[in-house]
Structure 1
Amino acid sequence: ERLIEKQHEINETTNGFVVVDPSGITVQFEIEAV
């Protein structure tokens, strides 16, 4: 299954993921490597 909702598009990156909300705002979450 794809974990992409109708309202939110989630793009995984090498160090986290990026979320684009309906208003076009892009929020990037960075995950620090342990």
Structure 2
Amino acid sequence: MIEITPKAAGMLKEFLNNLKVSGTVRILLQKFS
């Protein structure tokens, strides 16, 4: 089991949020293009 530090967890969460946001932006751009 890998121990996840709060800092690492925060970075991972931020990374996933960025992916989600960029995915949403891409979908929106496709709709309006």
TM-score by length of 2: 0.22
TM-score by length of 1: 0.22
Greater gyration radius: 2
**Which protein has the bigger helix share?**
2
**Which protein has the bigger strand share?**
1
